Copies of this chain bind each other. A is one copy, B any other.
Amino acid sequence: MRLEQSHRTERFGAVRIHELQRVIQLDSGDARGAVDDGVVSHDAIRAIEREMVIVIPCMNETRRVIEGVLSGIPQDCLIVLVSNSSRHPVDRYEIEAQTVEQFCRLADRPAVTVHQRDPGLAAAFKSAGMPELIGDDGLVRSGKGEAMLVGMAVAALTGRRYLGYIDADNYVPGAVHEYVKVYAAGLHLADNPYAMVRISWHSKPKLRDGRLFFSRRGRSSEITNGFLNRLIAEYSGFGTEVIATGNAGEHALSLDLGLRLRLAGGFAVEPFEYVDLFEQFGGVLDTAAQPEVMASSVPVLQIETRNPHFHDNKGEEHVQGMRLQALNVLYHSPVTLPAVRAAIVEFMVAQGALAPGAEPPRERIYPPVGSLELDLLRDQLDTEAETLCKIGGHSTVEGSRVWTRRA
């Protein structure tokens, strides 16, 4: 893979946000570039992929779409599907798990699937030290952030070093393939134990007046990115447009970083990753100093893919929900300065999303996955979580390639 070179970064304490870089070429063959020319060799990519878990949060996608997504994930990555699909009247999770199992049999590779609303999963997280994740019904809360948290905990159990998220609602297997290659190339180039790679898709095909139109930016992203950039600019005194990936569903990170991050619930999860990076590693709050991370710095690479992002249209309500949840976490963060908070409220009121004089609601923020007792979680999952499937690939003993050996 060949990426555009990135020369400019914006610093926020230990966080170094790289300007958006484009993918120049999907496959740069066996070329091995000089240092810093943006070429990442096949071998370097493969080395990261062998250490990478791909978590797919999934809700009510068709068998065919899931199969396409799976087909795009390079062989060496471990697939983890976290489903919140309906189980009645048709058990869609059963169909999903079968789809994954069948694919893995054909492709001879391992995978893990689990249902987010499995009572055994909730029990395991409760025992392992995260009762916050459990709702009034005694189950893990519904929500994308919660699915991602479950996926991260499962990834931590595998002993692999990197984690990438891929949304299940993607019609283009080649785009999925590119996302994973971008994760690997970015994590290689970041060359840092605490690194994150966030994707900005090239374009999004939309229907407009009966024809296709390739839109460059999402409706929700523009607003989230705008306020995140203002948050930074309030500190630096210089306007910036560096953040282009505030709502990036597609992103990857080292687990060394991931296990330290607090994830937010629902659709607040993706923008809150930026906010938590600023809170924990921005150097402006007294809390949570992590000297080893502060000394190392935290690079965030933002990469624009070549493929269009082609998925189902979830409708205006979904977009509005995403936007508001992003603004809620921004508003309530202690790193957000008063001027930005005021601008957020003004915007929300103007949109009719907030009554004048009211305060934006708080979103749920969970403790870091690294605070879980992972040995306990593993044991509880194995014994309690009935929906947990560990698929081994046909040439290995069932499941043996999935969990890491215990220390």
Residues of A within 8 A of B (CB): 2, 4, 23-31, 42, 46, 49, 68, 70-76, 103, 106-108, 171-175, 177-178, 202, 205, 207, 210-212, 214, 306-308, 310
Contact = CB atoms under 8 A, between A and B. Distances in A.
A29 B46 contact: yes
Contacts of A71: 23-26, 306
A68 B27 contact: no
12 contacts: A25-B71, A27-B72, A27-B74, A29-B49, A29-B76, A31-B75, A71-B306, A72-B306, A174-B307, A207-B210, A207-B212, A210-B210
B207 A75 contact: no
Contacts of A42: 42
Nearest to A65: B214
Contact of A207 (B26, B28, B207): B207
B173 A306 contact: yes
Nearest to A312: B212
B2 A30 contact: no
Contacts of A24: 71, 103, 106-107
Contacts of A177: 26-27, 174, 177
A48 to B, nearest CB: 12
A59 to B, nearest CB: 19
Contacts of A308: 171-172, 310
B174 A75 contact: no
Contacts of A103: 24
A205 B171 contact: yes
A31 B108 contact: yes
Contacts of A49: 29
A70 B2 CA distance: 13
Nearest to A70: B25
A217 to B, nearest CB: 16
A372 to B, nearest CB: 30
A67 to B, nearest CB: 9
Given A75-B25, A75-B28, A68 B306 contact: yes
Contacts of A31: 75, 108
B27 A307 contact: no
A396 to B, nearest CB: 13
Given A2-B107, A25-B106, 19 more contacts: A4-B106, A24-B71, A24-B103, A25-B107, A26-B174, A27-B73, A28-B75, A29-B46, A29-B75, A30-B46, A30-B76, A31-B108, A171-B308, A172-B174, A172-B175, A173-B174, A174-B174, A174-B175, A174-B177
A173 B307 contact: yes
Contacts of A178: 173-174
Contacts of A2: 75, 106-107
Contact of A172 (B106, B107, B211, B307): B307
A27 B75 contact: yes
A172 to B, nearest CB: 6
